[in-house]
Amino acid sequence: MDQKRVLVTGMGAITPIGNTVTEFWDHLLKGQSGAAPITGFDASRHATQFACEVKHFDPTAHLDRKLVHRLDRYGHYAMVATQEALQQAGMDLTSWTPAQRERVGVVISSGIGGFQTVEQQTALFQQHGPRRISPFYIPMIITNMLSGIAALELGILGPSYSVASACATGNNALFDAWALIQLGYADVVVTGSSDACVTPSIVAGFNAAKALSTRNDDPTGASRPFDLDRDGFVIGEGAGILVLESMEHAQARGAAPLAEVLGFGLSTDAYHMTAPEPEGAGAARAMTDLLRRSGLREDDVDYVNMHGTSTKLGDIAETKALKKVFGDHAYRLKATSTKSMTGHMISAAASVEAIATILCIQHDRVPPTINRATPDPACDLDYNTQGVAEITIRSAVSNSFGFGGHNTSVAFAKAGWRDDVHCA
C-alpha cells in the first residue's frame, strides 16, 4: 500500500511568550524569556518561586462560558489553540457534512492533565466532604478529554483518542495523527498537546526530584541550556495544536501547506526513570531511525530544535547523540533550544517546538538560544547564541524526550522541497 504524504496546514499556540503563533514567533526572534515570579499561587515556601506561565489569557474571550467552567486550564489552552489552527487551515468543520467529518480525526494529548482541578477539588473534599466535589471533576482531569471535547465541539466523527509519554507526548500524538492519515483512517487529523502544571504540588514535586532551577534572583536567566552553570529546567505551560492533512485532500480544497511531515524516529532508553542514558544512545537511535525512515541524508538537515531542557545530564547526552548521528555535519547544523525562552512546557513542549521548527523552515530564520553566558565544554555545537540566524532550511528535526526514557524525533521539510529533490 502506498503511504500518503502528509502536510501541515494549520497551527495554533498558547505559550509563555505569546498567545498566538504570530506573537510566539515574534518573541522567539526577539529572544524574550517567559520566566517570571509565579502569580498563580503563593510560591514563597517553594524552593523555586518562578515559572514560565501563560500571561494575559482570558478563555472567556474565545470559548463559551459554560465550556470554560467545565474545563481545566489545560483544556482552555488546547481549545483556543485548536481554534487558531483550524482558522489558519481554513476549516470550519461544523459546516462539513457527516460523511466529511467521518474522515477527520483528533489526537490531542496531555502528560499531566487537569492537576489544578485535582488540587482544588481535593482541598474541597478535605474541608467539606464528598458532597462538594464538582460533577465535572473527572471529565476535567482525565487527559483523553482534550480529544473528546474537541470532537464534541467540532463534530469530529473519525478516530479520537489521546496518548501520554511525559515530555514526548506531543511528538507521539503527532506520530499517531500522521500514521492515521498514512494508513487511510483519516484525511485530516487535529493533533497536539497541552499542559497547565504550574501548580503548588507539581512545582513542589519537581523540586523534590531536584529537576527545577532555583535561580529565584534571576528568573529570566534561569533557563540556560548548554551553559556551564545551568541548574535545572524552568517549568512552563501552554498548548500547541497542528492540523495534519493528506496531500491529496489539501490539494483538492486548495489549502496552502506550511510544511511536509517527512517521518519519525522512536526509541526507549530503558535506563532510568528520569535521567537520560548518559551517552545519548537512545536519543541517537531515535534520530538514526528518523533519517532511515524518512529517506533523509545527514546533510539534508539544516536545523535541529533540541530537547535542550537546561539540565546537567540532558544537554550533554543530547549533544553526544547529535554528534553520533550527524558526525562532522553536527557542527554545521544550527541546533538550538527554544526552552531557553519558553521554559519546559512539559507535554506541550513537543507540539510547541514542532510549531517553532516549522516557522523556522517557513521563514529561513533560526531564533537564538539565550542565556548561554559560560559555555559548557561538553556542549560544543552551534547553538546559535548570538541572535537570529538567517539560513536556508530545507528540512529540520525536532527532538523531544520524556521521563521514562521515551525518545522521539520528527522531521519536517519546506513545502515542495521533496518534489524539487526528486526531480533534480
- Contact (CB, 8 A) for 258 and 413: no
9 vs 14: CA distance, rounded Å: 18
407 vs 396: CA distance, rounded Å: 17
Residue ranges with strand state E in 297-417 = 301-305, 334-336, 365-366, 389-390, 395-402, 406-413
Active-site residue among 197, 307, 360, 379? 307
- Give me the residues paired with residue 411 across strands: 263, 397
326 vs 336: CA distance, rounded Å: 15
With the CA atoms of 156, 162, 166 and 172 taken in that order, what torsion angle do they form, in degrees rounded to the nearest 10?
A: -80
Does the annotation mark 344 as catalytic? yes
Output the CA–CA distances (angstroms, integers) from residue 177 to 92, 107, 161, 163, 293, in the order listed.
19, 6, 10, 11, 17
Does the annotation mark 167 as catalytic? yes
Active-site residue among 167, 197, 360, 379? 167
Maximum Cα–Cα distance across the chain:
71
Residue found under cell 483512517: 185
Q: What are 144's three cell numbers? A: 483523553
- Residues near 117 by Cβ (< 8 Å), separated by ≥ 6? 72, 134, 137, 140, 141
225 vs 12: CA distance, rounded Å: 25
9 vs 247: CA distance, rounded Å: 10
Active-site residue among 27, 76, 249, 344? 344
145 vs 126: CA distance, rounded Å: 26
Q: Which sign does the torsion angle of CA 161, 165, 171, 176 carry?
A: negative
What positions carry a catalytic annotation? Answer: 167, 307, 344
